[in-house]
Amino acid sequence: MPLFINRDQIFAHQVHLLEHKLRSKEERILELETENAILHLRLAECLGKLRRDHEKETKALKHHLQQRNAQKITHSALAKLLSEVQAVKQDLSELFAVYLSFSTELEEQSKQLLDKVQQASCSLKGDCGEEAQDLQAVVSALERSLEEERERCRAERQRRKELHNTLVELRGNIRVHCRVRPVLPFDHVPSSTPGSWPALSEEVVSTVSDDTVMVNCIKPGMPVHNKMYEFERVHGPEESQDAVFEEVKPLLTSLLDGYNVCIMAYGQTGSGKTHTMMGSQLLEEHSRGQQRAQPGAEQGIIPKAAAELFRMISEKPADSHTVEVSVMEVYNNEVLDLLAKDAQGNPVEQRCDVITTSNGASQVIALKYQPVRDASEVMQILSRVLKLRAHCPTLVHPDSSRSHLIVTLTISSKSPNALALARRLQSAKKDMQLAAQKEWWSPRCRRANLAARKSSEDHLFASTASSPSRSPSHSPCPSPRPSVSQALFKTKLQLVDLAGSESVGMSGVSGAALWEVSCINRSLSALSDVLGALAEQRPHVPYRNSKLTHLLQDAIGGDAKLLVMLCVSPTQRYVTESLQSLGFGTRARQVQKELPRRKGNPLKVK
């Protein structure tokens, strides 16, 4: 039976299929148009963000250029001011020399005239003639002129001190010097991969000028990038120990003017810290167990500072100053007294605690102080205690110091000058204000009202200015702290040789020495945190995170004049540690000490 197919049905079926395909294509076209719209929106958003970022970058570049211009103007103004101050200081020195010679001549003439008067009086036997009267008048006039010149000399000397302190303050609150050591034999270490670039012994740290150091940051496959660092003074490898000390010596003048001074050497192991502070031959004596005099050219900052200090004291009145020395080391975050001895006089390990007194100063309990009369006694003590300092050989240095060494020279003055006395009274007033804020109440001693306390303070300062031996006995509640005038005026010279910072892999130590490296790095990290908090003027300064920072709290954050001597290695092998040391010095320069503080919002110290 034949099969008949309706052509209309076939055409209808084909039309239905075509309509279905058409709808599918239209839906696909709609989806593509939607995606296209979304992509256009994203493109518009990205273009807007790119335009905003470009505007921000342009503004930031303009702001950076403005800051650089302002910094250049400030630096030029400061340099001009420094040159003017130095010129005035030179003029005052010449004027002082003229006054001194004139005063000496007047004294000699006065003595000669007095001798002539005595001879004339003896020859005349009591009968004063006209010649004797003229001589006496001349002598009186000369004595008055001599007294006037002495007063002018004292005034000029006081002005010189003020200008000197102003000059030191203009150089920075924390002065940072940098010393680049020369390339030494142990720097020539063969590379692990022969033919690699750059070589480990290649010099990448160099001095550009006397205040700028440059570091070549060389990386394989990358262009050479130079980093520049500016400090108050930069010493190159060719500069001697004398040149380094000449930049440090002006701080010793401030020491006898009533300021505490701290000189601190910072750097990695093997960068020359102990050589800078002690001197090379003193280290050789320590390693060989010998004692011999070392020439001045090989001495470090500590021997030269001791000699200069006693030289300046010798120009003062006899017995007006006494000096005591104490030597400590911070080993594994413990403070050890290196001068402690047992009953038989043998050295003994004695741990000391660091506390904070009521006036905010740090103090070491049971620390031994030894009186010294000249610089040779100081060096004898140092030669003896260097044998007790913790040392350990590492891959970086065969005799690496494992502790922070703090040598303190305490100068006690029996006749403080006017500037020191003013600072002494100011410190006493701050102590009284601090005690008044704490409001010490006792059931046996009821503090009087505010008016009585004010009168007590007035009486204290009046008695201090008038009679040094009196004490404020009229206070309604006498303080257990002695009077300002009863104690000697003391200043401190702290000379710090910090242990070197190093990575565990480079030092190659293990066991107990590994714990030593950890303690050293943690204490140096705490020191960096303290400087960062001071530079950013944070309300909390973490002094007590380490015994080292707690011990140096007065030098870092107080009114002491602090100089940080950065010691860096010049070769590519230690470029990471050198960059870290230079960054530490940059942060230290940003610290602004002696900031005015509100009475109700003091800095918190933990």
| Secondary structure (DSSP) of 517-559 | HHHHHHHHHHHHHHHHHHHTT-SEE-GGGSHHHHHTHHHHHSS
Segment 432-459 shows an average pLDDT of 43
Q: Per the structure block, which two tokens stand in for 361?
A: 């100063």
Give the pLDDT band of residue 566 (cuts 50, 70, 90): very high
| Residue 341 three-state SS | strand
Tell me how far apart the alpha carbons of residues 261 and 292 are, in angstroms, rounded to a whole number: 29
Beta bridge partners of 605: 541
Give the pLDDT band of residue 190 (cuts 50, 70, 90): low
| Residue 29 three-state SS | helix
Segment 398-416 shows an average pLDDT of 84
Helices (H), 317-417: 375-385
**280-287 contacts at long range (C-beta below 8 A, 24 or more positions apart):** 282/379, 282/382, 282/383, 282/386, 283/386, 285/383, 286/383, 286/386, 286/387, 287/399
| Residue 160 three-state SS | helix
Q: Provide the residue type at 339 as one letter.
A: L
The predicted pLDDT at position 431 comes to: 61
Given the DSSP bridges, would you call strands 233-235 and 174-180 parallel, antiparallel or unpaired?
A: parallel
Q: Provide the residue type at 185 as one letter.
A: P
Does 268 belong to an annotated binding site?
yes
Does 272 belong to an annotated binding site?
yes
Tell me how far apart the alpha carbons of residues 228 and 211 are, in angstroms, rounded to a whole number: 10
Segment 507-520 shows an average pLDDT of 79
Does residue 440 have a pLDDT over 60?
A: no
Cβ contacts of residue 336 below 8 Å, gap of 6+? 328, 329, 330, 349, 350, 351, 352, 403
Segment 389-395 shows an average pLDDT of 77
pLDDT tens-digit profile of 280-311?
755 555 555 444 444 445 789 999 999 999 99
The predicted pLDDT at position 444 comes to: 36
Does residue 468 have a pLDDT over 50?
A: no
Given the DSSP bridges, would you call strands 561-568 and 261-267 parallel, antiparallel or unpaired?
A: parallel
Does residue 603 have a pLDDT over 60?
A: no
Report how far apart, in Å, the C-alpha atoms of 479 and of each of 431, 472, 473, 490 are.
11, 9, 9, 21
Q: Which residue in 525, 505, 504 sits closest to 515, CA to CA?
A: 504
Give the pLDDT band of residue 487 (cuts 50, 70, 90): low
Where is pLDDT greater, at 359 or 388? 388
Give the pLDDT band of residue 558 (cuts 50, 70, 90): confident
- Locus of tokens 């010490």: 440
Helix 130-170 with 7-124: angle, nearest 10 deg = 170
pLDDT tens-digit profile of 11-57?
999 999 999 999 999 999 999 999 999 999 999 999 999 999 999 99
Give the pLDDT band of residue 4 (cuts 50, 70, 90): low
Beta bridge partners of 355: 363
The predicted pLDDT at position 173 comes to: 61
Tell me how far apart the alpha carbons of residues 275 and 565 are, in angstroms, rounded to a whole number: 12
In the chain, the percentage of residues whose pLDDT exceeds 90 is 37
The predicted pLDDT at position 601 comes to: 36
Does 557 belong to an annotated binding site?
no
pLDDT tens-digit profile of 72-91?
999 999 999 989 998 998 88
Radius of gyration of the chain (CA): 37
| Residue 27 three-state SS | helix
Given the DSSP bridges, would you call strands 321-331 and 404-413 parallel, antiparallel or unpaired?
A: antiparallel
pLDDT tens-digit profile of 238-251?
999 999 999 999 88
Where is pLDDT greater, at 591 or 179? 179
The predicted pLDDT at position 168 comes to: 52
Does residue 133 have a pLDDT over 70?
A: yes
Phi (first) and psi of residue 412, to 5 degrees:
-105, 125
Exposure class string for 475-513: b at 16+ Cβ within 10 A, else e: bebebeeebbbeeebebbbbbbbbbbbbeeebbebeeeb
Does 270 belong to an annotated binding site?
yes
Question: How many other C-beta atoms are found inside a 10 Å radius of the C-beta of residue 86?
Answer: 12
The predicted pLDDT at position 280 comes to: 75
Segment 204-223 shows an average pLDDT of 84
Intra-chain end-to-end CA distance of the chain, in Å: 111
Where is pLDDT greater, at 116 or 40? 40
Where is pLDDT greater, at 521 or 604? 521
Tell me how far apart the alpha carbons of residues 248 and 477 are, in angstroms, rounded to a whole number: 45
Does 583 belong to an annotated binding site?
no
Does residue 473 have a pLDDT over 50?
A: no
Tell me how far apart the alpha carbons of residues 561 and 169 are, in angstroms, rounded to a whole number: 9
Average pLDDT in the chain: 79
Tell me how far apart the alpha carbons of residues 33 and 38 are, in angstroms, rounded to a whole number: 9
Burial zone of 567 (CB within 10 Å; 0-12 exposed, 13-18 middle, 19+ buried): buried
Segment 321-349 shows an average pLDDT of 91
Segment 543-560 shows an average pLDDT of 87
Cβ contacts of residue 525 below 8 Å, gap of 6+? none
Does 273 belong to an annotated binding site?
yes
The predicted pLDDT at position 452 comes to: 39
DSSP state of 9: H
Cβ contacts of residue 380 below 8 Å, gap of 6+? 291
Tell me how far apart the alpha carbons of residues 150 and 143 are, in angstroms, rounded to a whole number: 10
The predicted pLDDT at position 434 comes to: 55
Tell me how far apart the alpha carbons of residues 265 and 564 are, in angstroms, rounded to a whole number: 6
Does residue 536 have a pLDDT over 60?
A: yes
Report how far apart, in Å, the C-alpha atoms of 431 and of each of 416, 424, 484 are.
20, 11, 10
The predicted pLDDT at position 170 comes to: 60
Give the pLDDT band of residue 62 (cuts 50, 70, 90): very high
Does residue 511 have a pLDDT over 60?
A: yes
Report how far apart, in Å, the C-alpha atoms of 55 and of each of 44, 468, 586 are.
17, 69, 31
The predicted pLDDT at position 559 comes to: 74
Tell me how far apart the alpha carbons of residues 525 and 527 are, in angstroms, rounded to a whole number: 5
Segment 459-473 shows an average pLDDT of 36
The predicted pLDDT at position 128 comes to: 56
Report how far apart, in Å, the C-alpha atoms of 128 and of each of 64, 152, 195, 304, 423 are.
84, 34, 101, 58, 52
Cβ contacts of residue 141 below 8 Å, gap of 6+? none
